[in-house]
Structure 1
Amino acid sequence: MSLRFTVSLAALGAATAVLSAASTPAKADEGMWTFDNFPIQTVNDKYGTHIDQAWLDRVRNSAVRINGCSASLVSGEGLILTNWHCVVGCAQELSSAEHDYVKNGFLTATREEEKECPGQTAEILTDIIDVTDRVLGAGQGLEGAAFVQARGAETTKIEDENCTDKETQTCQVISFYRGGRYALYKFRKYEDVRLVFAPENQAAFFGGDPDNFNFPRYALDTGFLRIYEDGKPVATPTHLTWNPNAPKEGDVTFVAGNPGSTSRLLTMSQLERLRDQVNPITLIQASELRGRLQEYATTSEEAKRVVFDPLFGLENSFKVYYGQEGALTDPDFMGKKREQEAELRARVAADPAIAARIGDPWGDLEKVQASARDLYLPYRQLEASAGGGSDLYRYAKTIVRAAKERAKPLAERRAGYTDAALAQQARRLAEVTPIDQGLEEIYLTHWMLKTREYLTVDNAEVKAMLGKDAPADIADRLVQGTKLGDPAVRAQMFAMTPEQLAASGDPMIAFVLANDNAAQAVRAQWDSAVNGPTAKAGEKIAQARFAVYGTNLYPDATFSLRLSYGAVEGWTYRGVTVPPFTYMGGLYERATGAEPFNAAQAFLDNESKVNKDTVYDFVSTNDIIGGNSGSPVINAKGEVIGAAFDGNIHSLGGSFGYDGALNRTVTVSTAAITEALRNIYHQPRLLAELGVR
């Protein structure tokens, strides 16, 4: 239940730079490969498959990127397969105290019952265009914040030139190999995405947090969406064929999805700062916030309902970063990383031509870490994690910054603030989403308390933010007084100038306006001292890597479409062998009747109808990471045989490396989904659309 991509825990991506690509050519089934550099021959030779470009194109055109997750088209009428935990946010937003679709599931008998998911988009990759020369050429001769600004302006220009219809297209310039390559990814975008099917939370998340990142698993972590346009389902003739049969041990498997972020080639100095500063602060704050949310859940049944998804995401992320910290504090793991870095540096030093061209980017990054250590806390608290997760604060920040940027000439705006981008922001702000005031106050109070704690009471920015008031009192005043919960008010304020916003009288807007200059100032410092020099050093390391190891390397994950390959296979650890399959009958044996091991009522009611020999979940050697949630797991024929939803406990260090002997992808099988649709949830319409009789 771990693979939804999120940076909400600590704005981790903003705090650490990502160095991409493997330091040496990939071994075993390692790698999250781009579709324009997939090792076709290697896979065909190893597994006896017949993958070709046509196969890759069909898979690429069937893959879907949704908010924080992956998915795939599985019918000709816009039907999308993903995970339950990728649609549970939608189910919760559609729910009310009277209709709890998270607890009871969301079932539809007709198309008319499918409901739009607020804020959800679906994107299908259509083109990959190399733009390396243009991006590398921008910012030449510049340093620090000016370098970052020039690069941002050029990427924005490339995106705008190639996406003329912002309502149906997304263009994104993506950095690969830590600045060694840049590509423009063009997507066909759909903004009308509707929920079709989601099981009860206890079916999808059976075993809860204790089973999370573990195997065996007995989870029906699946959900279906549908894309619409002009009020009608989108015709999608290119889609994956549904195979209702489970794979066999040893069968080759492919995972097509959008892994969020890996850091497999951070330098040692970067890894050490992550280990010593970023992760500990992340874990401490997450732990405290988790306690606040758990306490809030005990105050009422309604509070328990609304806190379910935020708490689920927080607990999941906490476990991820806890596992990452375990890898970073493992002497053997860090020893291997140190050896890899030493090898690359030695081979660069041994070639005078390369050494003269590359210089010492590792030394440069050591100096950057010293600056980053000093700036991290103010940058984190005042900018990267400002608001602590509050939607109302986020709305206000979006409105205030849009007003400021809109007042500038187009050439002087920050990246992401073109007229087209502002229009998209306006559409997002106008979407109807539920706001829980209790949760909002928790987020804001926790953020202000930690900001005061970390930056100290005497800090000028803290004094300006809090004055003489207690954080809880400020949070209460802001949440109770703002009108930003109304999408009509958000739309109205988005069109205002900074002066009009200042005169609006809205307390949340006033609060953001009062503190935004300080936030933007620390952001500029971070760009100058950290982002800019890190980008330059990263490019040099990428050049060194290409010069030493060649270009047949996979890049680090960037929430862009990738394809991994592997096989259905269990593992052995400390003398214990874990088989690759679980079966639906095992759920009933594992169920205790007490949370989180209480079976869903629909499973209990229909136990006599269930084929208990059906493969439920299975594991494979595919290399994946957060963001791969909902990714289709595909066989050699290009048929979908499951949806990836988790990794095993050994995969928690996957951000920094891949161990083919232990790292496993956990997948819910199409066999189990088919069995559940037929004999538990009685969904003949869905089965017919999937081509299952």
Structure 2
Amino acid sequence: MVSSLRAYRNGLLLALLFVLVAPGLTATAQSVDVFDQRIRAEVERDTVEAGRFDDGRMWTFDHPPLDDFEERYGFRPDQQWLRRARLGALRIPGCTASFVSENGLIMTNHHCARSHAVDVERAGEDLLTDGFYAESVDQERKAPNFYAEQLINIRDVSDRVDRALDAAETDAERESAREEVFSEIADEVTAEVSQGEAGYRTQIIPLYDGALHSAYTFRRYEDVRLAFVPELQLGYFGGDTDNFTYPRYALDMAIFRVYEDGEPVQPEVHFEWSTEGSRPGEAVFVVGNPGSTLRLETFSQLRFRRDVTDASLLHFLQTRVAALQQYVEETPDAPSAVKNSIFGLQNASKLYRGRVEALRDGYIMARIHQGEQNFADALAADSSLQAQYGGLLDSMARVQEQKRELAPTYQAFRLATNPSYSSATIRRAIAAQQYLDRSAAGGSGEQLESLRQQVVGSSQPSSLNRLFLTARLADFQRYFGADDPAVEQILRGRSAEQAAREILSESVLSDSTSAAQAIQSGSLAADDPAVAAMGAVYDRYRDFQSAWAGLSSRQADLAKQLGRARFAVYGHDVPPDATFSLRLADGVVRDYEYNGTRAPAYTTFFGLFEHFHAHGTDSEWDLPERWQSPPATFDMTTPMNMVSTNDITGGNSGSPVLNKQLKVVGLAFDGNIESLSGDFIFLPERGTRTVSVDVRGMLEALDEIYDADRLVHEVTGRGFVKTEAAAPEGP
């Protein structure tokens, strides 16, 4: 029976691959020939089995798997433990933080605090280079545009949302109904939970692709002040080279304090720092806000990501990094914001390279397909579920086929209107084409004025505009083909670089001043070189937007129905995809095999100094002066970073790593290379690990290098000290 079932599944997979790679999809021929062969090979090997927790272990706080915890760790958290874990964690912009003292200290990562440290700099300061320590409470600096949200209440509102959305007949009605019901629920729940007290807000969180909805009520603190941040060279030790790697030696930490009415907040719950740290094999828990995962996407959706969306985004990131780097080389006084953009894009590029490689891994894709087939079998085994949901996977696959027909246009115009990474002239040309079309059709004054503002509103350094325009024209050539009539019309035998230079030298859209003059004088015309270049491909861009919107809406509807189907089969045994909402992720401290050896569970300060001496100054492993001559009492055997099997992703940065007693043993800041497949499947047995700053390393650095005794005294639970002079020495 098992063999025949596997044969059926294998045949179904091969048939599905055949359908999805039908003739005409030449843009993905390489992936068809190479990557799908890898999946076929794994299927034919007949050794791939989906795991129970392939969809991960990011549990919502209202449905943690307590029986499983007890079986795995001999530990069953009670409701008081869960409440304390929830209240101690915080959500901050893009990251996670946590209360670590009874007087409002919170900890997060250096990379989550970096921009806020820059915001509080004073004249002559460079806090990224020099770090910052407030030696007294009075010296702590308020960070603008920084807040911390504490999750106070969770309520299931699925039935009410479903009733409102199911009554809508069109996409527009559904969107309007969603906004209305979300707003109504948020207002009602906030009023009930807050009892009229200010500072509360409620967010409606979709789960299982919208199959369920929960109302999360937060208490928001908006007075957050910087207390400590190390030098960038410590917080980002190893730079982009070490990013997503392990062993690591980064002090990726920062400490703030939350205030209310001008005084430090005294939270009901905080996590004290352990002075003993963790042990190999010990159960640890990450409480944080993972940003997003795609584990509930179908096999056909993931193949589309592999061949089209993620692959093209990787190429986009790589080419725009190259453009920005060339701009910096050409512009000695390039603003630091551009350099930060390069860091961000390099990080994203490394992330998407790992994602694409995971999607090209035959074993991973075969295992994902196996899990999907198990889901399909479960639906087929229940006649009522089969009748309601049986055709959804096939329908989703057909949507992906339709999207493939639009792939070249999608790829060629990827992020074309993004002001940070696209040519200002292209953005002006798109708006100019729309302006000319609307004007000819007798558009309203309000419509035309909005488009006029878009034509003149984009500003960008001229050399960066040229580099981004060159990259966009190269995208047209890459995805439409060099022999495409529109591409031939745009390039006219020129290289992308030459065409970009000549367009900018002749077009009134080359800068905002001449664009404004052309709009004001009425001289903007379709034969302007930039408008003409955009005009050659504008019809397909416009048609693509309409078709893509329709398919995206259809896909979202199918995803919601599939979410309901999965929940009907598995219930809360399978956690929902990450949604930047609070989750509890369990795991153990554990080493792993890599590169023919074993990565240790812990690294120490010895490794930090070994890297510094091996690579020297002016490298990504350089050390600030104070670190180059540590005091004799500094213990270099202290654990600095650690790895564990917890399930995290972006948004978990800054999450506390807690032991069973809810004491801090680490601070999550990254995943290893093996974890990059985690957007799609959770595979700790293949080396997926969370990388954290060990609490012992944080304490040793604060005490011995930065002489931050008042913070050490406070986070270890020995009391609140307002000044460094008043703090006793030692951990």
Q: In 2 relative to 1, CA 105–151 (structure 1 residues): closer, same or farther, beyond 3 Å?
A: same
1:622 aligns with 2:649: no
1:360 aligns with 2:386: no
Q: In 2 relative to 1, CA 134–526 (structure 1 residues): closer, same or farther, beyond 3 Å?
A: farther
Find the aligned partners of 2:421 and 2:105 in 1 and give their Cα distance: 32
Q: Give the match for residue 496 of structure 1.
A: none
Q: In 2 relative to 1, CA 271–245 (structure 1 residues): closer, same or farther, beyond 3 Å?
A: same
Q: Give the match for residue 563 of structure 2.
A: 542
Q: In 2 relative to 1, CA 446–119 (structure 1 residues): closer, same or farther, beyond 3 Å?
A: farther
Cα distance, 1:452 vs structure 2:
8.8
Find the aligned partners of 1:82 and 1:622 in 2 and give their Cα distance: 18
Structure 2: which amino acid aligns with 1:88?
R
Q: Give the match for residue 445 of structure 2.
A: none
SS of the residue aligned with 1:228?
A: strand
Q: Give the match for residue 203 of structure 1.
A: 234
1:210-247: CA deviation from partner (whole Å, max 9, x where unpaired): 22111111110101122233333322231111213221
User: Contact 2:208/2:564 (CA < 8 Å) preserved in 1?
Assistant: no
Cα distance, 1:251 vs structure 2:
1.1
Which of 587, 602, 605 lines up with 1:566 in the alignment?
587
Cα distance, 1:83 vs structure 2:
0.4
Which of 697, 707, 711 lines up with 1:686 in the alignment?
711
Cα distance, 1:86 vs structure 2:
0.5
Find the aligned partners of 2:358 and 2:343 in 1 and give their Cα distance: 23
Q: Give the match for residue 673 of structure 1.
A: 698
Cα distance, 1:101 vs structure 2:
1.2
1:593 aligns with 2:619: no
Which of 293, 303, 310 lines up with 1:279 in the alignment?
310
1:285-329: CA deviation from partner (whole Å, max 9, x where unpaired): 111221233334446776374444322222111111100100101
Q: Give the match for residue 354 of structure 2.
A: 323
1:503-523: CA deviation from partner (whole Å, max 9, x where unpaired): 9xxxxxxx9xx99xx999977
SS of the residue aligned with 2:364?
A: helix
Which of 120, 126, 140 lines up with 1:114 in the alignment?
140
1:651 aligns with 2:675: yes
Find the aligned partners of 2:303 and 2:210 in 1 and give their Cα distance: 22
1:294 aligns with 2:317: no
Cα distance, 1:116 vs structure 2:
2.8
Find the aligned partners of 2:176 and 2:139 in 1 and give their Cα distance: 47
Q: CA RMSD in A?
A: 4.0
User: Contact 2:109/2:667 (CA < 8 Å) preserved in 1?
Assistant: yes
Which of 214, 217, 222 lines up with 1:186 in the alignment?
217
Find the aligned partners of 2:116 and 2:219 in 1 and give their Cα distance: 22
1:122-150: CA deviation from partner (whole Å, max 9, x where unpaired): 11111111111122222325244443443
SS of the residue aligned with 2:181?
A: helix
Structure 2: which amino acid aligns with 1:470?
L
User: Contact 1:383/1:522 (CA < 8 Å) preserved in 2?
Assistant: no
Q: In 2 relative to 1, CA 73–686 (structure 1 residues): closer, same or farther, beyond 3 Å?
A: same
Q: Give the match for residue 688 of structure 2.
A: 663
> Aligned residue pairs: how many?
601
Find the aligned partners of 1:683 and 1:224 in 2 and give their Cα distance: 11
Find the aligned partners of 2:473 and 2:88 in 1 and give their Cα distance: 44
Equivalent residues in 2 for 1:88-487 (5 A)? 88-95=114-121, 98-140=124-166, 142-163=169-190, 168-298=199-329, 303=334, 305-373=336-404, 386-389=417-420, 442=464, 446=468, 450=472, 453-454=475-476, 470=504, 477-478=511-512
1:529 aligns with 2:551: yes
Q: Give the match for residue 640 of structure 1.
A: 664
Which of 612, 619, 626 lines up with 2:636 in the alignment?
612
SS of the residue aligned with 2:320?
A: helix
Equivalent residues in 2 for 1:63-82 (5 A)? 63-82=89-108
Cα distance, 1:559 vs structure 2:
0.7
Structure 2: which amino acid aligns with 1:559?
F
Please, which runs of 5 or more residues in structure 2 have no aligned partner? 1-48, 432-457, 491-499, 521-529, 719-730
SS of the residue aligned with 1:242?
A: coil
TM-score in terms of structure 1 length: 0.77
Find the aligned partners of 2:305 and 2:82 in 1 and give their Cα distance: 36
Q: Give the match for residue 18 of structure 2.
A: none
Q: In 2 relative to 1, CA 110–385 (structure 1 residues): closer, same or farther, beyond 3 Å?
A: farther
1:145-181: CA deviation from partner (whole Å, max 9, x where unpaired): 4434433432233234434689723322111122221
1:556 aligns with 2:577: yes
User: Contact 1:390/1:444 (CA < 8 Å) preserved in 2?
Assistant: no
Find the aligned partners of 1:101 and 1:437 in 2 and give their Cα distance: 29
Q: Give the match for residue 38 of structure 2.
A: none
Find the aligned partners of 1:556 and 1:322 in 2 and give their Cα distance: 21
Cα distance, 1:604 vs structure 2:
0.9
State which drifts further: 56-65 or 306-315: 306-315
SS of the residue aligned with 1:174?
A: strand
Cα distance, 1:534 vs structure 2:
2.1
User: Contact 2:590/2:645 (CA < 8 Å) preserved in 1?
Assistant: yes
User: Contact 2:54/2:682 (CA < 8 Å) preserved in 1?
Assistant: no
Structure 2: which amino acid aligns with 1:158?
I
Find the aligned partners of 1:296 and 1:96 in 2 and give their Cα distance: 28
SS of the residue aligned with 2:585?
A: strand
Find the aligned partners of 2:101 and 2:363 in 1 and give their Cα distance: 47
User: Contact 1:29/1:622 (CA < 8 Å) preserved in 2?
Assistant: no
User: Contact 2:206/2:214 (CA < 8 Å) preserved in 1?
Assistant: yes
SS of the residue aligned with 1:139?
A: helix
Find the aligned partners of 2:161 and 2:644 in 1 and give their Cα distance: 38
Structure 2: which amino acid aligns with 1:223?
A
Q: Give the match for residue 53 of structure 1.
A: 79
User: Contact 1:448/1:471 (CA < 8 Å) preserved in 2?
Assistant: no
Please, which runs of 5 or more residues in structure 1 have no aligned partner? 1-22, 401-435, 483-501, 504-510
Q: Which structure: larger Rg?
A: 2
Cα distance, 1:270 vs structure 2:
0.6
Q: In 2 relative to 1, CA 338–214 (structure 1 residues): closer, same or farther, beyond 3 Å?
A: same
SS of the residue aligned with 2:132?
A: coil
Find the aligned partners of 1:441 and 1:226 in 2 and give their Cα distance: 42
TM-score in terms of structure 2 length: 0.74
Find the aligned partners of 1:525 and 1:170 in 2 and give their Cα distance: 36
Structure 2: which amino acid aligns with 1:446?
F
Structure 1: which amino acid aligns with 2:162?
L
Q: In 2 relative to 1, CA 308–229 (structure 1 residues): closer, same or farther, beyond 3 Å?
A: farther
